[in-house]
Amino acid sequence: MDKKIQFIQQWNETQKNKIKKLEDAGLNISVETSIYGHIDYLLQQIEDVDQSKFNILAARDNERNLKEQAHRTIERLREQIEIKNKALKWYAAIENYEIGNFTVDQNGELDEWESRVQQDAGEKARTALKGEDTP
């Protein structure tokens, strides 16, 4: 709250205290119905507006944070889709099913002639499902 409003609050409290002293002295004066009671009401309205402004600013910050978080999540999901699409394209490529590739066994001898898909044995798929990129 700014200094002018604080000054008005202090001044109003002083005036209300004076009226209370007059009430105590037997005069028929009420703080609530006096101008000072109305000033109290207006000061409360100012506080309510200030609180509303604060709430609006906090909501905007929260909204901004949620948007940033959503953006990061979307980017992460796009990366995951790209990784999985890459693996699917590899499995979909006909040349990876052609026989003619071979493996070398532990003794250094040629083993069965296998396709790349047979050699891979699902490793690219398992890696992609973990969310990791494959070569």
pLDDT one-digit tens code per residue, 80-111:
999 999 999 999 999 988 887 666 777 877 76
Q: How far from the centroid of its chain's Cα atoms is residue 114's Cα?
A: 50
Sole residue written with tokens 């999540």: 73
Rounded CA-CA distance 60/66 in Å is 10
Give pLDDT, residue 111.
Answer: 67
* pLDDT tens string 17-71: 887 887 777 777 766 667 877 788 888 888 899 899 999 999 999 999 999 999 9
Q: What pLDDT was estimated at residue 99?
A: 80
- Phi, then psi, of 111 in degrees rounded to 5: -100, -165
Q: 111, 115, 86: which is closest to 100 by C-alpha?
A: 115
pTM: 0.53
What pLDDT is recorded for position 114? Answer: 76
For residues 83 and 108, give the distance between their C-alpha atoms in angstroms, rounded to a whole number. Answer: 33
Amino acid code (one letter) for 59? A
| Tokens coding 118 | 């047979």
